[in-house]
Amino acid sequence: MTEDSIVEVRGLNHWFGTGDARKQAMFDIDLTLERGSFTVLMGPSGSGKTTLLTLVGCLRAVQEGSVRLLGHELHGAGAAELTSLRQRLGFIFQAHNLHESLTASQNVIMGVQVRPGVPDALAEAAAARALDLVGLSDRMDYLPANLSGGQKQRVAVARALVGNPALVLADEPTAALDKDSAAEVVDLLKRMGATRGTTTLLVTHDNRILDRADRILTLEDGRIVKREGAQGR
């Protein structure tokens, strides 16, 4: 693993189910994500994109092969270590998954307070900056119910970025957005890569954003069948 690589996947295999129903979903995946890179993961439904995202994001246990994340081997890692590593990641979901009873600002604060010992004032200031970054500084005290779909997704982006994560894992973050909003979100992630070195792994079917990717990986039936872009593996 080089100093600049955030994620290194080697010989990754993964199965779902048990006994006769056991089915292999990932086949011998090799992948490296460099610091600050913007990688798009494409492929038809059921090709294994989401499974790969959840394995790299410490949301599933690695069964076979190696996944090194931020220098930590995930194969055989305990629940506490996985939880701790997740605190250094940013997640953006297709559905914004904002907490309905928290304001935009409070939702973003949750992205900071996951790390123990952060003072309230610091968390609030960071949340304000993050919301400003996504152009929602005038919606800080709004509940999700009073925000548009695009605004909610931008709050979710702010929540993912507020903790200055090393890696952002995004699943169809632009699916519910119009063209301009989608472009804004992707540009923001790209900008974070350039200025803060944030690495992004983004699953999408959205052809509108492909031209902004450093690298495009195509998965089919659990295998990477096509690699396009600057980096090798």
Residues lying near another protein in the complex (CB under 8 A)? 50, 53-54, 57, 59-60, 80, 83-89, 91, 93-95, 97-102, 106, 109-111, 113-114, 120, 159, 171, 203
Q: Environment class of residue 21 by beta-carbon count within 10 Å: exposed (0-12), middle (13-18) or buried (19+)?
A: exposed
Q: Which two tokens stand for residue 57?
A: 């994001």
The minimum distance between CB 113 and another protein, in angstroms, equals 5
DSSP letter (8 states) at residue 134: T
Alpha-carbon gap, residue 208 to 177, rounded angstroms:
11
**136 and 154 in contact (C-beta within 8 Å)?**
yes
The minimum distance between CB 145 and another protein, in angstroms, equals 10
The minimum distance between CB 221 and another protein, in angstroms, equals 18
Alpha-carbon gap, residue 185 to 205, rounded angstroms:
15
Residues with Cβ within 8 Å of residue 40, at least 6 apart in sequence: 202, 203, 204, 209, 210, 213, 215, 216, 217
The residue among 115 and 179 lying less far from another protein, judged by its C-beta, is 115
Q: Which two tokens stand for residue 159?
A: 């929540």
The minimum distance between CB 142 and another protein, in angstroms, equals 14
The residue among 44 and 187 lying less far from another protein, judged by its C-beta, is 44
The residue among 102 and 231 lying less far from another protein, judged by its C-beta, is 102
The residue among 21 and 145 lying less far from another protein, judged by its C-beta, is 145
The minimum distance between CB 200 and another protein, in angstroms, equals 15
The residue among 83 and 148 lying less far from another protein, judged by its C-beta, is 83
